[in-house]
Amino acid sequence: MKTQLEHAKSGTLTEEMQEISGKENININLLCKRIASGEIVIMLRKGHNVAIGTGLKTKVNANLGSSTESKNDSEIQKAVIAEKYGTDTICDMSMSGNINKIRSKIFNSTTVPITTVPIYQAIAENSFDAGEEKIIGIIERQADSGVSSFVIHAALTREMLSLLKERKKQRIMGVVSKGGAMTAAWMFENSSENPFLKNFNKILEIMRKKDVVLSLGNAMRSGCVHDEMDNLQKTEAELNAKLARAANDAGVQVIVEGMGGHVAANNIFNYVKYYKKITHNRPLFVAGPLPMDIAVGYDHVAACVGGAMASGAGADYLCYITPSEHLGLPGIEQVKEGIIACKIAAHIGDSMKLGLSKSDLALSEMRKIHDWEGQFEQAIDKGERARKYHKNYRGACTMCGKYCAIDVMDKYLKN
Amino acid sequence: MKTQLEHAKSGTLTEEMQEISGKENININLLCKRIASGEIVIMLRKGHNVAIGTGLKTKVNANLGSSTESKNDSEIQKAVIAEKYGTDTICDMSMSGNINKIRSKIFNSTTVPITTVPIYQAIAENSFDAGEEKIIGIIERQADSGVSSFVIHAALTREMLSLLKERKKQRIMGVVSKGGAMTAAWMFENSSENPFLKNFNKILEIMRKKDVVLSLGNAMRSGCVHDEMDNLQKTEAELNAKLARAANDAGVQVIVEGMGGHVAANNIFNYVKYYKKITHNRPLFVAGPLPMDIAVGYDHVAACVGGAMASGAGADYLCYITPSEHLGLPGIEQVKEGIIACKIAAHIGDSMKLGLSKSDLALSEMRKIHDWEGQFEQAIDKGERARKYHKNYRGACTMCGKYCAIDVMDKYLKN
């Protein structure tokens, strides 16, 4: 089996490229060229392949998965809800219960591409006794189970951890990446270099065989808006950029996770440009970013602002933030709210980088003639919430009643 | 009685300036200078005066008021809720029931400055038979009742209405300003020039006596993101800029309502700069803006993105948008959601134009040590929602449980 990248490099147009070309309204030769150059990836899931990168609509990801404290069944329901409200991909981060079984149930309940973070299962099942072979075994097992993409924190080196130890007082929030922290913990416990970096080529070979997309995690992202991008973050970003090229050379598709977390609004544009530049325009995955910290309980709204700015600046793929962020494992309702806010961010970002959408125009035309169902059909949640709030007043609504500006002006502007 | 502007022009530092200087941490002489130049206004309400303009925190306004279809009591509750969740001002737009009584009840239930739109009461009580003297009578009565600011659409001329009639096909959404539409309807019905423009000096004299701030409305704002700023909008903006200067010359403080409504995200920055330039940096009031139309049901979230961008670009005063926008009169819960989303927008905007806030830093420092109550105290809603979602796991939370990145890294990074 060849990967989409290998096909693209040899100029072969695949079925998956055909599917994407139709869905995304992109010329298939341009798509193929961008896959070949690493600017676009296709995350594979039969019939629901998802492409991410330059010139395509911003995609949205939902993180979920069992925590040490959660009921596993609700994770399956969350996956269903996330897909219902339009997530493009799901990342299963389960760390308790029968992890293989949960993943399998998520596969059975959804149709979108599924991502995992292999270090999670490795640590959950083996604590820090997980030897390198065990970690690689889990990567193989997850790849075999049909996972579309792995998040791997390969660019966190021992040297960086020593620097972090020295300089940690310069960072308010230290390290806030869970996958990064677990990778670091493994390295400390085993007095070893990063297991993903050491075994990078072996891992690439596993991924290439199944065309699993490599998502290069960023462990060093900032955890509050007062923590600016520092040398640790840049060092990791630069190593990730190198690893991305190596992975592409080995035929593996790559997404780079960058920036993310908490970023002052004024820095978002420049940080996106920085990541895009050093990675030669590879697909950029961003969590949030949160442009403020005191929106706790409403982090999905703050992240919508940061996500819109990041996407507008060129980020290709946004990870949702739920209202439960920083507080606890989200419930089903919070997953829904997180997805919708993230889709709003992606839509606004797309209006900035790709132009205004026809759906906004269609809704406005329906709004002008008080065609309510026509409006709701265009709405981001298919009008579910709008229907709940709509209160009819003789065709208009109860906000203005008979003083509806549209109706008042229609009367006088008619010829 | 002299207005704050008249005092400022003669270099007198007032009690109100003292209050604002302390609250906003601005040098009182600079504040006085900016009031004199028209860059800052103080909306008066005893003990809770609110200043708006250059160098000050972005302020938030909640629109409410009885519609033809609403119960008046719930409007009072909405005012209380809006103040509880941090609105800086309230605009009472009541159009049914005993409007004077509703306004009086809102005064009795709140402490923040209250704005009205006099055309609303004029039309509600007299339909289009309201003669100019009746309109002026209402302005006098509202000023006497302690209103802090009036929204008046004075820059909508007959000539513009003729142009609108000719060109309406070039606008998808026509006119969506309710106050603008009612002013226009009055002009059509009475075959008259704009009553506020005709009686501008007389109205200024009433306002000067009570130091009511003039908020110059924009009737010609666009009603969907596909409607770009056109000549009609610019003509109105330029006339508003002239009227603003005339009002300031007459000793009346002025806010200019600009842009607002629905604006493509890519245009927000430039539109704010345009309004700021033509008004010589007078306080800019913006509703939303909404950078997309299909977020109906979640317009408060989309408006949070637009509001953050506008505030970051220099807008001084944001009008909230609730989840019920375009659908019906909002309920109490939607008023709350609208205010919080708008305060998030203002906070992010302020981080862009004034720098990062200490509250974000304080929350992050509490977050790092798992001091939950310490975090919640800093939160935008004082932690009400965060407390509901927080699920404790041995000091950390159930999102990551024992794999909390902060705890994991603390273990290894301790010296």
Q: What is the pLDDT of residues B367-378, one digit of tens each?
A: 999 999 999 999
pLDDT at A355: 98
SS percent in chain B: helix, strand, coil, step 5: 55, 10, 35
CB contact under 8 A, B401 and A68: yes
- Give the one of B181, B380, B385 whose C-beta lies nearest to A294's C-beta: B380
More confident residue, B220 or B70: B220
Q: Considering only CA atoms, which of B345, B273, B60 is closest in space to residue A348?
A: B345
CB contact under 8 A, A308 and B291: yes
The pLDDT-based confidence of B68 (bands split at 50, 70, 90) is confident
The pTM (predicted TM-score) of the whole model is 0.98
Percent of chain B with pLDDT over 70: 99
CB contact under 8 A, B225 and A412: no
pLDDT at A254 over 80: yes
**Dihedral pair phi/psi, residue A42, rounded to 5°:** -115, 120
- Give the one of B265, B383, B413 whose C-beta lies nearest to A312's C-beta: B265
- Cβ neighbors of B200 (< 8 A, separation 6 or more) are B154, B243, B246
Given a contact cutoff of 8 angstroms between Cβ atoms, the answer to whether A55 and A354 are in contact is yes
CA distance to A221, A295, B300, B333, B358, per residue, from B340 (Å)? 27, 9, 9, 11, 19
Which of A93, A153, A292, A358 is the mutation pick for testing B, counting most B CBs within 10 A?
A: A292
Quote the CA–CA distance of A184 and A181 in Å, as a whole number.
Answer: 5
What CATH number does domain A48-353 carry, 3.20.20.540, 3.10.20.30, 3.40.50.450, 3.40.50.300? Answer: 3.20.20.540
- CA–CA min distance A380, chain B (Å): 6
pLDDT at A204 over 60: yes
CB contact under 8 A, A408 and B182: yes
pLDDT in tens, A362-401: 999 999 999 999 999 999 999 999 999 999 988 999 999 8
pLDDT at B13: 98
The pLDDT-based confidence of A415 (bands split at 50, 70, 90) is low
Percent of chain A with pLDDT over 70: 99
Query: B175: which chain A residues are within 8 Å (Cβ-Cβ)?
Result: 405-406, 409
In B, minimum Cα distance to A377 occurs at: B294
Query: A364: which chain B residues are within 8 Å (Cβ-Cβ)?
Result: 172-173, 223-227, 293
Query: B123: which chain A residues are within 8 Å (Cβ-Cβ)?
Result: 403
More confident residue, B106 or B129: B106
CATH 3.20.20.540 residue spans of chain B: 48-353
Quote the CA–CA distance of A106 and A108 in Å, as a whole number.
Answer: 5
pLDDT at B1 over 90: no
Query: A383: which chain B residues are within 8 Å (Cβ-Cβ)?
Result: 296-297
Query: A377: which chain B residues are within 8 Å (Cβ-Cβ)?
Result: none
pLDDT at A165: 87
The pLDDT-based confidence of A414 (bands split at 50, 70, 90) is confident
Burial of A22 (0-12, 13-18, 19+ CB in 10 A): exposed
CA-CA-CA-CA torsion for B271, B275, B281, B285, nearest 10 degrees?
-90
Quote the CA–CA distance of A250 and A337 in Å, as a whole number.
Answer: 39
B285: tokens are: 């009031």
pLDDT at A87 over 70: yes
The pLDDT-based confidence of B67 (bands split at 50, 70, 90) is confident
Pairing relationship of beta strands A213-216 and B40-43 according to DSSP bridges:
unpaired
Chain A to chain B Cβ contacts (< 8 Å): 363
- Give the one of A176, A365, A413 whose C-beta lies nearest to B164's C-beta: A413
Query: B381: which chain A residues are within 8 Å (Cβ-Cβ)?
Result: 297-298
Task: Say how many C-beta atoms besides its own lie within 10 A of residue A108's C-beta.
Answer: 9
Which of A224, A325, A348 is the mutation pick for testing B, counting most B CBs within 10 A?
A: A348
Which of A117, A162, A218, A403 is the mutation pick for testing B, counting most B CBs within 10 A?
A: A403
- CA–CA min distance A174, chain B (Å): 7
Task: Say how many C-beta atoms besides its own lie within 10 A of residue A257's C-beta.
Answer: 26
* Cis before A330? omega within 30: no
The pLDDT-based confidence of A210 (bands split at 50, 70, 90) is very high
CB contact under 8 A, A174 and B413: yes
pLDDT at A69 over 80: no
Given a contact cutoff of 8 angstroms between Cβ atoms, the answer to whether A251 and A225 are in contact is no
In B, minimum Cα distance to A265 occurs at: B352
Query: B325: which chain A residues are within 8 Å (Cβ-Cβ)?
Result: 399
CB contact under 8 A, A406 and B367: no
- Cβ neighbors of A252 (< 8 A, separation 6 or more) are A3, A5, A204, A207, A208, A212, A213, A214
Quote the CA–CA distance of B340 and B332 in Å, as a whole number.
Answer: 13
Mean per-residue pLDDT over chain A, rounded: 96
* Cis before A291? omega within 30: no
Among the residue ranges A39-53, A63-77, A216-230, B120-134, the one predicted with the least confidence is A63-77
CB contact under 8 A, A265 and B348: yes
Mean per-residue pLDDT over chain B, rounded: 96
CB contact under 8 A, A302 and B356: no
B253: tokens are: 């403080």
CB contact under 8 A, A67 and B323: no
- CA–CA min distance A230, chain B (Å): 17
Query: A173: which chain B residues are within 8 Å (Cβ-Cβ)?
Result: 364, 367-368, 406
ipTM exceeds 0.90: yes
The pLDDT-based confidence of B16 (bands split at 50, 70, 90) is very high
Q: Considering only CA atoms, which of A287, A321, A318 is closest in space to residue A301?
A: A321
CB contact under 8 A, B403 and A344: no
Quote the CA–CA distance of B293 and A361 in Å, as a whole number.
Answer: 8
A402: tokens are: 């008979």
Query: A376: which chain B residues are within 8 Å (Cβ-Cβ)?
Result: 296
CB contact under 8 A, B176 and A405: yes
Biggest alpha carbon–alpha carbon distance for chain A: 82
> What is the Cβ-side half-sphere exposure of residue B183, based on CA atoms within 13 angstroms?
30
Check residue A298 and give left, alpha or beta (phi > 0: left; psi -120 to 50: alpha): alpha
pLDDT at B167: 77
Quote the CA–CA distance of A337 and A143 in Å, as a whole number.
Answer: 30
Q: Considering only CA atoms, which of B287, B285, B328 is closest in space to residue B304?
A: B287
pLDDT at A1 over 90: no
Looking at chain B, the number of H-run helices and the number of E-run strands are 19, 12
pLDDT at B415 over 60: no
Q: Using a CB cutoff of 8 Å and minimum separation of 24, what contacts does A123-126 make? A: A123/A95, A123/A182, A123/A185, A123/A186, A123/B403, A124/A94, A124/A95, A124/A96, A124/A99, A125/A99
Which of B296, B361, B402 is the mutation pick for testing A, counting most A CBs within 10 A?
A: B296
pLDDT at A169: 74
